């Protein structure tokens, strides 16, 4: 098994990593024998993106939980009771 074996790392997007490694190879002028270097650099790029994505997801989850807690404290949370329609406002007489 190699480091890019999908069975060893099923959570990785090996297609993205391979495309990124190929792009790096082309950017460097298609040098011979540097495939492992390009793969590892692309893997680091993918891991950086994953970490940023996980951080964003965690922050969003935390902010949603804080907003829900605040709404409950302020009695703004949705209830199971149906909303009552607002009373119609009469237009002023002329």
Is the pTM higher than 0.75? The answer reads no
Question: Does residue 28 sit in helix, strand or coil?
Answer: coil
Tokens 């009552």 -> residue: 84
The predicted structure's pLDDT at residue 71: 80
**Long-range CB contacts for residues 4-7, cutoff 8 Å, separation at least 24:** 4/39, 4/43
Where are the domains positioned within the chain? 13-42
pLDDT in tens, 42-74: 999 999 999 998 888 888 888 888 888 888 777
């Amino acid at each position: 098994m190699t480091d890019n074996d999908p069975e060893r790392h099923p959570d990785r997007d090996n297609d993205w990593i391979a495309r990124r490694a190929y792009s790096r190879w082309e950017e460097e002028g298609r040098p011979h024998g540097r495939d492992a270097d390009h793969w590892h650099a692309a893997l680091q790029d993918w891991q950086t993106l994953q970490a940023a994505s996980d951080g964003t997801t965690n922050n969003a989850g935390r902010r949603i939980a804080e907003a829900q807690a605040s709404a409950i404290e302020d009695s703004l949370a949705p209830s199971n009771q149906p909303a009552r329609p607002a009373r119609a406002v009469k237009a002023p007489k002329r």
